[in-house]
Amino acid sequence: MIEASIPVATDAISPRRDAPLTPGATQLGVLGGGQLGRMFVHAAQVHGFRVAVLEPDAASPAGAAADTHLCAAYADACALAALAAQCAAVTTEFENVPAGSLRTLAARLPVSPPADAVEICQHRAREKTAFAAAGVPCAPHALIASADDAAAPALAALLPGILKTATLGYDGKGQANVASPADVAPAWAAMGGVPCVLEQRLPLRLEISVIVARGRDGQVVHLPVQQNLHRQGILAVTQVPAPDVPAGTAAEAVALAQRLVRALDYVGVLCVEFFVLTDGRLVANEMAPRPHNSGHYSIDACDVSQFDLQVRTLAGLPLVAPRLHSPAVMLNLLGDLWFEAGDVAAAAPRTPDWPGVMSLPGVRLHLYGKAEARRGRKMGHLTVTAADAATARAVALQAAARLGLPAF
Ligand code: ATP
Ligand code: MG
């Protein structure tokens, strides 16, 4: 890894913005230094691209893997100029980068996903408006941006509900349950009075997600439908093929995600999370303008992973439909595993039993290189692949037991 802060001449800016970039000859850029950026770096490097990461944290998962780490804020004008000078195209690994940075870069070189779409995904109300505009069903909801909004009698129809901050929520953070009309104003005040969305609590049978990728030429491909189990608002387990999803529901979810990616005139990888309700209906929960935790299995179980798709869409290279070559189960590895069970405050540190899980057939360990384990922090994941779904699940249950994770 090279720390660079001054622009260096590039040998390889594409003369035509729409021409495919040449693997092996160019550098790609990514805004953000988290694990999604790290896995993008790995995929890009496999294709022969060099990668520059813009990330203010000097010790980040993606920065450690990149060819070049520009250590600066995402809106730093000098750093953005350096990134544009060094790279042939730029992407992002998380949705909360300043959209202005993407626009600044887009004036100089190809950027995907587009700033407009990222900006929509940054705000839950705008996101729901985009769902509705594309004909994708979403939860009944209301924007709460003032004390008057919080006192509106019409909110009663949305209760019991979940109050969610409109921006910056992830892994269930910035959310509160609201049971009665009198609870709305105090819950909103407890959120600091920031703009929020009050969403009706829906009766979920299960949760699924669909990852689609759309190229510069408008071609759309997708990964198989993923069935997701959340614990405490955080993704815990993904199973593919989705064991409990009827074929018709899966096909409908894919069609809705395709409709959305086209309506947004999107280029890049987009993940759409859906609820499957107890009556079988599909409701879009949220979307992510990037690869998604629920798609990590694709690295080990598909011939084209979600990160390969991000590379291809960014570089303007051909898209081919990914093929799932093995059933897969992904287990998220949160920082909790690095502490002995028992009293949370006093728990002693420990190292998870890696040899124990790696002795199981078909297990692949991915750790993101984060120095400090904290509860709820995503430290890595395990993918279990097998010749059939029943075996993948059985081995994943064994792995979970050896790590002290609950069964699923
Ligand atoms: P992410 O890390 O996926 O961005 P987030 O913090 O944005 O998460 P959501 O996806 O909105 O949070 O919600 C987290 C989880 O809470 C969902 O996966 C689902 O299990 C539950 N949940 C959210 N909204 C609803 C709802 N309207 N009805 C029922 N359950 C819900
Ligand atoms: Mg979510």
| CB of 140 closer than 6 angstroms to any ligand 1 atom | no
> How many C-beta atoms lie closer than 10 Å to residue 122's C-beta?
18
Kindly report the protein residue whose alpha carbon is nearest to atom 26 of ligand 1: 201
92: CA distance to ligand 1 center in Å? Answer: 23
pLDDT at 171: 76
pLDDT at 16: 54
266: CA distance to ligand 2 center in Å? Answer: 20
- End-of-domain residue from the set 200, 228, 246: 200
Least confident of 22-31, 316-325, 328-337, 354-363: 22-31
Distance, CA of 185 to CA of 193 (rounded, Å) = 9
122: CA distance to ligand 2 center in Å? Answer: 13
292: CA distance to ligand 2 center in Å? Answer: 10
pLDDT tens readout for residues 4-19: 443 433 434 444 567 8
CATH number at residue 161: 3.30.1490.20
Kindly report the protein residue whose alpha carbon is nearest to atom 9 of ligand 1: 172
User: How large a percentage of the chain has pLDDT more than 70?
Assistant: 96
| CB of 170 closer than 6 angstroms to any ligand 1 atom | yes
Identify which ligand lies nearest to the alpha carbon of 203: 1
pLDDT tens readout for residues 29-83: 999 999 999 999 999 999 999 999 999 999 999 999 999 999 999 999 999 999 9
Kindly report the protein residue whose alpha carbon is nearest to atom 5 of ligand 1: 170
177 with 95, same domain: the answer is no
Q: Are the C-beta atoms of 39 and 309 separated by less than 8 Å?
A: no
pLDDT tens readout for residues 287-297: 999 999 999 99
Least confident of 16-25, 152-161, 237-246: 16-25
| CB of 336 closer than 6 angstroms to any ligand 1 atom | no
Identify which ligand lies nearest to the alpha carbon of 378: 1
Kindly report the protein residue whose alpha carbon is nearest to atom 17 of ligand 1: 233
235: CA distance to ligand 2 center in Å? Answer: 8
- End-of-domain residue from the set 200, 224, 252: 200
195 with 234, same domain: the answer is no
pLDDT at 1: 45
pLDDT tens readout for residues 144-183: 999 999 999 999 999 999 999 999 888 778 899 999 999 9
Q: Which of 159, 275, 277, 334 to mutate to test the pocket of ligand 1 (most atoms within 8 A of CB)?
A: 275
| 341 band by pLDDT with thresholds 50, 70 and 90 | confident
Whether 152 maps to a domain, the answer reads: yes
CATH number at residue 355: 3.30.470.20
Q: What amino acid is encoded at 101 in this protein?
A: S
Distance, CA of 254 to CA of 270 (rounded, Å) = 12
107 with 152, same domain: the answer is no
Contacts of 315 (CB under 8 A, 6+ apart): 20, 21, 23, 26, 28, 47, 49, 88, 89
| CB of 159 closer than 6 angstroms to any ligand 1 atom | no
Task: Compute the mean pLDDT over every residue in the chain, rounded to the nearest whole number.
Answer: 94
In this structure, what DSSP letter does residue 181 have? H
Kindly report the protein residue whose alpha carbon is nearest to atom 12 of ligand 1: 172
User: CA 152, 156, 161: angle at the middle one, nearest 5?
Assistant: 110
Q: What amino acid is encoded at 314 in this protein?
A: L
Least confident of 15-29, 46-60, 201-215, 254-268: 15-29
372: CA distance to ligand 2 center in Å? Answer: 24
31 with 74, same domain: the answer is yes
Contacts of 187 (CB under 8 A, 6+ apart): 163, 176, 178
Domain that holds residue 376: 204-403
pLDDT at 169: 83
Q: For the chain, how many structural domains are there in total?
A: 3
273: CA distance to ligand 2 center in Å? Answer: 7
Higher model confidence: residue 218 or residue 5?
218
Taking residues 331-347, report their average pLDDT: 88
152 with 208, same domain: the answer is no
Whether 118 maps to a domain, the answer reads: no
345 with 320, same domain: the answer is yes
CATH number at residue 91: 3.40.50.20
Q: Is the pLDDT of residue 302 over 80?
A: yes
Strand 161-165 and strand 196-200: the pairing is antiparallel
217 with 298, same domain: the answer is yes
pLDDT at 165: 96
